[in-house]
Amino acid sequence: MNHPLVKLTAAPPTVSYRALDDGWRQWIAENRLRDCTSQSVVATMIAAGVHPHDAHISVMQMETNPIYLAARRHQELLRKLESVVANQQRLWQSAPGYATVEKRGEVSPEEFLERYVRGSRPLVLTNLTADWPAMKRWSPDYMKRRFGHLNVEIQCGRNSDARYEENKLDHRDVQLFSDFVDRVLKGGPTNDYYMTANNEALRQPGFAPLLDDIGTLPAICDRAQLSRSSSFWFGPAGTITPLHHDTLMLFHTQVVGRKRWRFISPLETPKLYNFNGVFSPIDVDKPDLSRFPLFADVTMLEVVVEAGETVFLPLGWWHQVTSLDVSLSFSYSNLGIPNQFSYANPTMTDW
C-alpha cells in the first residue's frame, strides 16, 4: 500500500524518434542544393521528430558525400546557364516598349518573321478576321442549333484540383454539346468546366463545317494543314488556363468574348519553379511569394484580347489566360515554317 503522504508520478514517457532513411537523405541533399543553411536543415529535421544527434551527423556527412559533391559541380554548370539567360533577358527588357504587347492591324510577312517569330515577341493582330464567316455566325446559340446533337469532351471538376491542367486526364467527361452549351449559359462565371484544345472536336467529321467559317490566315500559315493543326475552345467567363508554355508556336483567335493574356519570357523560366512538364505552380493573379520568392523579379506582359483579335504566341513564352466573358475561340499552329521543337521537361511532381 502506498503511503498517503507520498505523491506518485507517472514514469517519464519514452521518446520515439523518426528513423533516418534514404528519403531524409535525399531531402537533406535537395535543400542544401537549394542553399538552405545546414542549421536550418538540422532544425527542420529535429522539429519533424528526428533525433538531434542523427540530424547533425547526417547533415555533416552530406557535405563530403561524393554524389552530393558531383551534384554541386553540375549545379555550377546550371547556374552559369541561368546567368546567361538572365543577362539575355536584361537585354530584351531594355528594348523600348518591351512590357507592352503590341496590337497591330497589318504586318508584312517579312517583318512578322523577323520581329515576332525569330525575334520572339508576342503580338495581337486586330484586322485578320474581317472576312471570317465565324465572326457573324458563331455564338453559343448557333453552336447549339448546328452541332448540339454531337458529343464533346470537356474538362470538369477543375475547382476541386489545384493542378487540374496537369491532371487533365482525370477530369475528362463526355456529354452532349447542347447540354454543355446550356450549362455554360446558365452556370455563370466559373472555372469548374471548360471545353479546351484537348477536346479534339475538329477531328470529328460532324464539326468539320466549323473550318469553313475560317477566312484569311496569316501569310506565314499553310492552310492545307489547318484541319489537323487547329482547336476549338468554348467555356464560361472565369475559366483559367494556368501558367504554362507550349512546345510550338501558334495563333489564337477570339471569336466571341474577351480573354486576358499574361505573358512571361522563356528566359525567365528559372524563376517560375517549373518542376513538372510545361507547368508552373504559380498563379499570377495571386502569387505566393513566400513559396516562390524568385517570382517577385519576373516581368509580366498583359493584354486583353477582344473579339475578332488574334494572339501570336511565340516559342516557349509562358502564359496564363483568363476568360472575361463567355468565350468561343479558335487556335491553330499550322505555320509554314518548322514548328516542332523538343524540350527536356522535368517530372518532379512532388516538389
| pLDDT band of 15, cuts 50, 70, 90 | low
Per-residue model confidence as pLDDT tens digits over 271-310: 999 999 999 999 999 999 999 999 999 999 999 999 999 9
pLDDT of 11 strictly over 80: no
pLDDT of 2 strictly over 60: no
Per-residue model confidence as pLDDT tens digits over 159-186: 999 999 999 999 999 999 999 999 999 9
Provide the β-strand partners of residue 154: 173
pLDDT of 234 strictly over 80: yes
Q: Phi/psi at 200 (nearest 5 deg)? A: 55, 25
pLDDT of 7 strictly over 60: no
Q: Which residues contact 131 (CB under 8 A, 6 or more apart)?
A: 215, 216
Kindly list the domain boundaries of the chain, sorted by start residue. Answer: 21-94, 103-332
CATH number for the 103-332 domain, one of 3.30.360.10, 2.60.120.650, 3.30.300.30, 3.40.50.2300? 2.60.120.650
Contact predicate 319/263, CB 8 Å = yes
Q: Looking at residue 14, what is its pLDDT? A: 55
Which residue type, as a one-letter code, is found at position 214?
A: I
Q: Which residues contact 236 (CB under 8 A, 6 or more apart)?
A: 184, 187, 188, 189, 190, 193, 194, 323, 326, 327
Contact predicate 292/282, CB 8 Å = yes
Q: Looking at residue 195, what is its pLDDT? A: 97
